[in-house]
Amino acid sequence: MRELAAQQDEVRRLSRLVDDLLLSSRLRAGALPLHRAPVPLDELAVATVDRLLPQFRSAGRPLHLAVADDVPAYTVSADADKLTTVLGNLLENALRHALPGGEVRVSVDREAASGWLYVEVANPIRQSLGDLGRLTTAYYQADVLSNGAGLGLWLSNQLAELHGAPLQLQESDGWFRARLRLPPLNE
């Protein structure tokens, strides 16, 4: 049974790598169209967290989701499939790089200053990551011993930019935060 689980994990990893490489090729060729439609950002975040929760449980990593309930609507104009890729990459990145046993926090809310809606993924880190701009460079790996190919944050940032705003990356008080932000549909 353990061998089957290990093989399934490897197939998932290889499948994800192939998908990332294909997406990377399409992005570099400028051949990745957005299919915008009204998307409930809160529901998309809940569905993505729900899909990845078994991986977090298997790794013994707590995953917390908080959706602010004082926001009347979380609807944005976006490509739901591409946003799902962004959030999936951010969550998988947090799963891979958070401190052992450290929780991963997902927040869905509205920025007070801009009024834009956001999903933020936060995880504790061992040490400072230094220049955060490097993290969105293709094939860059902050931890060369991790299983990733160094494409997740680059792809996520490219897809966020296609939607009109790059990811916001921040490091403070031993936490790394990646924020995907979009204007609400009604504005």
* Residue 121 falls inside a structural domain: yes
Which residues 6+ apart lie within 8 Å of 85 measured at CB? 23, 155, 156, 159
Does residue 27 form part of some domain?
A: no
Phi then psi for residue 172, to 5 deg, are: -160, 145
Q: Do 140 and 150 meet the contact criterion of CB atoms below 8 Å apart?
A: yes
Give the domain CATH number at 86.
Answer: 3.30.565.10
Task: Please give the average pLDDT of every successive group of 10 residues along the chain, which has 187 residues.
Answer: 65 54 55 83 96 92 95 93 92 85 93 96 75 53 52 80 87 89 85
Count of domains for the chain: 1
Is 62 inside any structural domain? yes
Residue 4 lies in a domain: no
Residue 94 lies in a domain: yes
Torsion sign over Cα 35, 164, 150, 143: negative
Asked whether residue 18 is assigned to any structural domain, the reply reads: no
Give CA separation, 41 vs 38, 112, 186, in Å: 9, 17, 13
Residue 59 lies in a domain: yes
Domain that holds residue 126: 34-182
The answer, as to whether pTM is greater than 0.85, is: no
| Mode of pairing for the β-strands spanning 75-78 and 37-40 | antiparallel
Task: Measure the CA–CA gap between 133 and 24, rounded to whole angstroms.
Answer: 18
Residue 41 lies in a domain: yes
Q: What is the pLDDT of residue 149?
A: 47
How high is the pLDDT of residue 131? 58
Backbone angles phi, psi at 3, to 5 degrees: -65, -40
